[in-house]
Structure 1
């Protein structure tokens, strides 16, 4: 961000910064989260913390007259080559699990809310901001209108794939991050929180429209990966089933040990 200020000070009619909704404090103090909500992500969430720092640097430069500034804050953004957030392991492997009716790890009880938006819809928000004088000095939440629980999020993918109903294995997010810190740290830092945002400003000023539903987005993903054999020939990720087996074993042991005390 400091390099941007040096490079573009007095040299551009508008600088549009792609930030993220992760700059907001988690958990939020009120829902839906609006653009003026508190922005204090924890330092451990480096991606969010760095984005928030960039925003502060750019906003300070704007206040000093360096250049006109517009900030867009997309939520989880995907494209056809992507796959539903797996929480653990490769996306293609996760699609394979859904297709074959294998159990899926879900955070908490699977009822916290998530929102995802296709790249094509997000791109139209950027074109709506470019050269738009109404956006100068403002920030915008950019995401779809669907707020889905993780259960709904995964069940929709199963429905698109004509797979069996999903079987969810609820595991605490913080525990999952401790078990697999290299691949599951975002479960504790981000995914366990509700993601419910107000996108009315983007609709009003940018002409933003949510045209690709999650169902349609998953359909595109599945077509993309199936055409390349990615789902049926996905990478093996044995840790996934090992975690499920260990968790279920621990649950049974707890029940056997403690249920007799409930007298």
Structure 2
């Protein structure tokens, strides 16, 4: 199978590229070639170009390698971008795979158990509303066969996804724990959540490629391990061998100081969310998420410790944590 990944160097997409290679697909990447952290596996063809740049020459480069059995787009976030992407790829693939987000599901949820039939409605996060609009655009158009995939919080070696941590510098909260500094856990920490190892996600994702029976369908792909935020944070502290200073602070209080936290808090992570993977398993029966959170944390911390230059921290996140904790304690 011939698969083109648009992007292909991120936490999720790089794992999907590697899984496609393992399954002996002919793999192509379209990106700007600027990633310093991730090098594609041998045998992958890289088409260098900017999907937001000049379209005619980019289209010619893609046509030279077409057709593709599937094209997976990891870097489209707005309906305007999606319209341009569909025009660029017109006639080049049988299946277009759009990467949406599980944050699109109804917030706050009326039921903790989320299926693909749960309404898409998130008044708290523009990112999610844009992804919803993209899905609606795909439904309206009739020319391109498509499949929608909705990842939830997915991580790999280079990322530890803890709420109110830095996505670009995930060592930030780890450093706070090691230094004995207080760390915010929003609310009482008992809301349910799932973090998914990127290699597990990739197995489910690649299983959907090149299959006509999934055209017009949407899937989320997550682990089946469900933990509360207290457990997620405590697992990291246990792996570090520290006694953490966790401070439980209501989300509304956090947002009163930093309103831009609305999306990641009440628009996403402080809701109890359990994603039912039954639909995915009907189409990909062999799918099983094998890496539990404790193992993923161990792998990630080993990766960071192997090279101290990776242990970067985010001054703004540190300043925000300190400011919110100080205000709350007052």
Conservation of the 8 A alpha-carbon contact between 2:100 and 2:150: yes
More helix by share: 1
Matched, 1:198 2:297: no
Conservation of the 8 A alpha-carbon contact between 1:106 and 1:171: yes
CA distance in 2, matches of 1:30, 1:125: 25
Conservation of the 8 A alpha-carbon contact between 2:163 and 2:185: no
Match of 1:257 in 2: none
CA distance in 2, matches of 1:183, 1:33: 23
CA distance in 2, matches of 1:217, 1:116: 9
Map of 1:9-88 to 2, 5 A cutoff?
9-42=90-123, 44-61=124-141, 64=142, 66-88=143-165
> Number of residue pairs matched?
244
Map of 1:34-183 to 2, 5 A cutoff?
34-42=115-123, 44-61=124-141, 64=142, 66-89=143-166, 90-164=169-243, 166-182=244-260
Match of 1:218 in 2: 297
Deviations 1:123-152 (A, max 9, x none): 222210111233122111111111111100
Task: Give the alignment's TM-score, normalised by structure 2.
Answer: 0.68
More strand by share: 2
Structure 2, unmatched stretches of 5+, are 1-81
CA distance in 2, matches of 1:37, 1:84: 24
Aligned-residue RMSD, C-alpha: 2.2
Conservation of the 8 A alpha-carbon contact between 1:88 and 1:184: no
Match of 1:255 in 2: none
CA distance in 1, matches of 2:213, 2:319: 52
Deviations 1:93-138 (A, max 9, x none): 2001223443321111111111111111112222101112331221
- Three-state SS of the structure 2 residue aligned to 1:26 is coil
CA distance in 2, matches of 1:144, 1:96: 27
Return the offset for 1:14. Answer: 0.9
Structure 1, unmatched stretches of 5+, are 250-263
Structure 1 residues 19 and 96: alpha-carbon distance in aligned structure 2, compared to 1, 3 A threshold: same
- Three-state SS of the structure 2 residue aligned to 1:14 is strand
Conservation of the 8 A alpha-carbon contact between 2:163 and 2:269: no
